[in-house]
Amino acid sequence: MVQKKAVKAAPELESKPRSAWDVYADAKHRTAMDRLAREYMAFLTACKTERETVNWTRALALKNGFSEKFGAKACFRDMRGKTILLARKGRRPLSEGFRLAGAHCDTPRIDLKQHPLYEEVQVALAKTHYYGGIRKHQWLARELALHGVIALKSGKVVDVTLGEDPAEPVFTIADLLPHLAQKQSEQKLSEAFDAEKLNIVLGHEPAKAEKKDENGKGRVKKAILALLHKRYGIVEDDFYSAELAAVPAGPARSVGLDGSIIGGYGHDDRICCFTALSALMDAKTPEHAQIVILWDKEEIGSDGSTGAKSLFFEYCLQDLVEAWEPKARLRSVLMSAKALSADVHAAIDPDYQDVHEKMNASLFGYGPTFCKFTGHRGKYMANDAHAEYVGWLRRILDDAGVPWQMAELGKVDQGGGGTVAKYLAKYGMDVIDFGPPVLSMHSPFELASKADLYATKLAFEVFLKS
Ligand code: MN
Ligand code: MN
């Protein structure tokens, strides 16, 4: 629940949530809110993979005077084009702590396998292996675009974005017709949709018949290979070194008669990437050093060289200490840091309110949500932020008049989930989960409130300049 700003004479005794719409009711805020929403929707439309998000971030950083020379006053470094860290020196030395916002830029999706291409009953298809926590049925019978890269043996890397321009074709996974789904409709949801049936339709027109294969199989696949070679200069073996993902095709959209909601793919967690970056770009001369990091691989457990369990962050910090304050000890710098593990929270779903414990759930439009602890079933695997840090955060946000809320994910013994918070907590820094509420999380079309987007950006500003 939101703590109302204390009135000196008579403190508000009872906790009263504050709607971000009410807090930002005046015209000046609404104009700024609409502008931010437009910028965000353009970002969300352009960035559907971690690589695209990192490329976008590099361009933004360069435009705002950040240097690729790591150790400069404002600088950035990326890791394999999938994870990126931006840093800005503060007035105070690093050893007095830095402010860190860490978000993730990967999103659940449908990846192509390394041997993807085949043909069945006159249709060419691509085999897939999904990435992250998807509800498989949500990805059927809808328009998909292909995004990614194909690395050739020559060292050349071919960028692929196909299905976003309305002039281009899209892709799709065909679903079973209700007439023949009798047996499937009686199965459990977890068993009804087979991952090996999430195959993407690539085409149907056969290559011109040659005498020897006139009625034979394989002509459709052959035609697809010819098209791919013509368009990208690739052969079938090149899929071995490709990272291609099917993602929902099309732009982010306004939702509702009042346009108060933003619908799109990947609010989780690109809404935190965008708001943290916007706040960082606007904070020119900070008190403490500021760091924003966007991680890859959060949706599959943060492993790997570009995930939050890697040493990339630590290596960057070592280099910053060397450049900015060589006498400081890395461990003291890390232990005096304050961090927000920036990730979206589940808003109470109007149709499934019973999965939430409503006193401790996040309300759409009531601002970004703190989650003191994550984990599941008795707080296992949780980062549990200490009370003193929460008290400090309450003060800085309340003093700035930014609405926020406190919640946990789902009912006890029912909900749960993890974020990157615990990988930061191991350094001894203050860290808590924080981010706006989202509806339809992990679906191809997630929903976020415009008011929450705006409040989250302002909250990051307050935190980064503290
Ligand atoms: Mn997330
Ligand atoms: Mn997620």
Both tokens of 121, joined, read: 């009953």
Both tokens of 223, joined, read: 């035609």
Chain region(s) in the chain for CATH 2.30.250.10? 109-248
pTM greater than 0.75 (yes/no) = yes
Q: Please tell me the distance from the alpha carbon of residue 107 to that of residue 299, in angstroms, as a whole number.
A: 7
Cβ neighbors of 230 (< 8 A, separation 6 or more) are none
Report CA(81)–ligand 2 centroid distance (Å).
20
Report CA(232)–ligand 2 centroid distance (Å).
32
Report CA(291)–ligand 2 centroid distance (Å).
22
Report CA(91)–ligand 1 centroid distance (Å).
32
Report CA(353)–ligand 2 centroid distance (Å).
20
Position 1 scores a pLDDT of 56
Both tokens of 374, joined, read: 């994550």
Question: Which top CATH class is 109-248?
Answer: mainly beta
Position 379 scores a pLDDT of 86
Chain region(s) in the chain for CATH 3.40.630.10? 20-107+265-465
Q: Does the 20-107+265-465 domain belong in CATH 3.40.630.10?
A: yes
Report CA(55)–ligand 1 centroid distance (Å).
20
Both tokens of 314, joined, read: 């630590």
**Residues 274, 264: contact at Cβ < 8 Å?**
no
Q: Which ligand is nearest to the CA of 108?
A: 2
- Tell whether the torsion through CA atoms of 291, 48, 132 and 297 is positive or negative: negative
Report CA(132)–ligand 2 centroid distance (Å).
8
What ranges make up the beta strands (E) of 207-286? 242-248, 253-255, 261-264
Report CA(75)–ligand 1 centroid distance (Å).
25
Cβ neighbors of 414 (< 8 A, separation 6 or more) are 355
**Average pLDDT, 10 consecutive residues per value, the chain (466 residues):** 64 92 98 98 98 98 98 97 98 96 98 98 97 97 98 97 96 97 96 97 93 76 97 97 98 98 98 98 92 98 97 98 97 97 97 94 98 88 94 98 94 82 96 98 98 98 97
**Residues 458, 448: contact at Cβ < 8 Å?**
no
CA angle at 407 for the pair 404 and 413, rounded to the nearest 5° = 170
Report CA(420)–ligand 1 centroid distance (Å).
9
Report CA(403)–ligand 2 centroid distance (Å).
23
* Contacts of the segment 51-54: beta carbons below 8 A, 24+ positions apart: 51/81, 51/82, 51/148, 51/149, 51/243, 52/147, 53/105, 53/270, 53/273, 53/294, 54/78, 54/81, 54/82, 54/83, 54/84, 54/105, 54/294
Report CA(227)–ligand 2 centroid distance (Å).
35
Within 13 Å of residue 33, how many CA atoms lie on the same side as its CB? 25
